[in-house]
Amino acid sequence: MADAKANPEMPEEPQEPQEAVDTEVDIGALEAELAVAVAEREEMRDRMMRALADAENSRKRAEKDRRDAQLYGGARIARDMLPVYDNLARALNAASDETRAAASGLVEGVDLTLRELSNILSKHGVERICPEVGDSFDPHTHQAMFEAPVPGTKAGEIIQVMAEGFMLHDQLLRPAQVGVSSTPASE
Instruction: Read off the CATH number of the domain in which 164 is found.
Output: 2.30.22.10
- Looking at residue 5, its pLDDT comes to 53
Residue 96 located in a structural domain:
yes
At 161, the amino acid letter reads: V
- Side-by-side strand order, sheet with 171-174: 126-129, 165-168, 171-174
Residues 129, 167: contact at Cβ < 8 Å? yes
Residue 87 located in a structural domain:
yes
52 & 63 share domain: yes
pTM above 0.75, yes or no: no
- Express each pLDDT in 81-118 by its tens digit: 999 999 999 999 998 889 888 988 999 999 999 999 99
* Among 126, 128, 130, CA closest to 71: 126
What average pLDDT does the chain have? Answer: 86
Q: Beta strand 142-149 with 165-168: parallel, antiparallel or unpaired? A: unpaired
68 & 79 share domain: no
Q: How many other CB atoms sit within 10 Å of the CB of residue 171?
A: 12
138 & 185 share domain: yes
Count of structural domains, the chain? 3
148 & 116 share domain: no
- Looking at residue 99, its pLDDT comes to 86
Residue 1 located in a structural domain:
no
164 & 145 share domain: yes
187 & 137 share domain: yes
Residues of the chain with confidence (pLDDT) below 50: none
Alpha helices in the chain (DSSP H): 2-6, 23-72, 75-94, 97-102, 104-123
139 & 184 share domain: yes
185 & 130 share domain: yes
83 & 60 share domain: no
Q: Which domain holds residue 158?
A: 126-187
Residue 15 located in a structural domain:
no
Residue 37 located in a structural domain:
yes
